Amino acid sequence: MGCDCHFFTERWTNQKNYEGPKDIQINRDIKLNSILENGEHQEYSWITADTWTNDDGYWSADEYYDDRNYFLFAILANVRNGYRIEPLAEPRGIPEDSCYPIKYIVNEWKGDGHSHSYFTLKELLEVDWDKYCVKLPEVDRTNWLDDFKQTLKELKEIDKNPENVRCVFFFDN
C-alpha cells in the first residue's frame, strides 16, 4: 500500500478572503467584532493559500506539492524512512492556530491521517537540500528533490516574508 503526503499552505495575514471551507462560527464572530469595533477587523491569522474546489459538498485543495516521494517524507517527518536519514524534526502535530480548511481536511481523514506536522517557509528555505542530493555508490540521489525545491521557489511568491508562509502536512497509507 502506498503512502501519500497531504501538503497544505497557509499565509499569515489580516485578510479573510479565501475560497475554501469556512468555519461559520468564526466568520460570524469576526463580522460581529468588526461591527462592534466600528471599523475593519485587523486581527492577523493563518488563512489558506491553496486553491480549493467543492465537488458535491466535498472540499479539496490544489496543493502546491503533491508528489509521492518517500525520500522527502523521511526528511520532513521520518515517514517511510528506509534511508536512515535524520529527519528535520519529528512530527509536530497540526498547529492549534491552523486555518479552518486544514482542520476540516484533517477531520475528514480522521484516524487514516498520521504524522501531522508543519514548517514555516523560512525553516524550509534554511535547509541545505543539496546535502541530501548526493551520488552514492549504490544510488544516485542528485535529482530526488528537484520537484520539492521547485515548490519552495513557488511558495516564495505567496508572501515576501517567508515567516508568513507555513506548510502544514500529514500522511496517509
Determine the pLDDT at residue 138.
84
Per-residue pLDDT of 15-48, as tens digits, reads 776 666 665 555 555 555 655 565 554 588 899 9
- Model-level pTM? 0.85
pLDDT for the residue 90: 96
Look at residue 64 in the predicted model and tell me its pLDDT: 95
Residue 124 belongs to what domain range? 4-172
Count of other CB atoms within 10 angstroms of residue 84: 6
> pLDDT tens across 86-101, in order?
999 999 999 999 998 9
Residue 35 pairs in a beta bridge with none
Low-confidence ranges of the chain (pLDDT < 50): 41
Cβ pair 97, 45 in contact under 8 A:
yes
The count of residues in the chain is 173
What is the model's pLDDT at position 135? 86
User: Three-state DSSP class for 171?
Assistant: strand
Query: Residue 25 is inside which H or E element, if any?
Result: helix 24-37
What's the structural domain count of the chain? Answer: 1
Nine-digit cell at 49? 493559500
Dihedral angle at the C-alpha atoms of 124, 129, 132, 135, nearest 10 degrees? 160
Query: SS3 for 106?
Result: helix
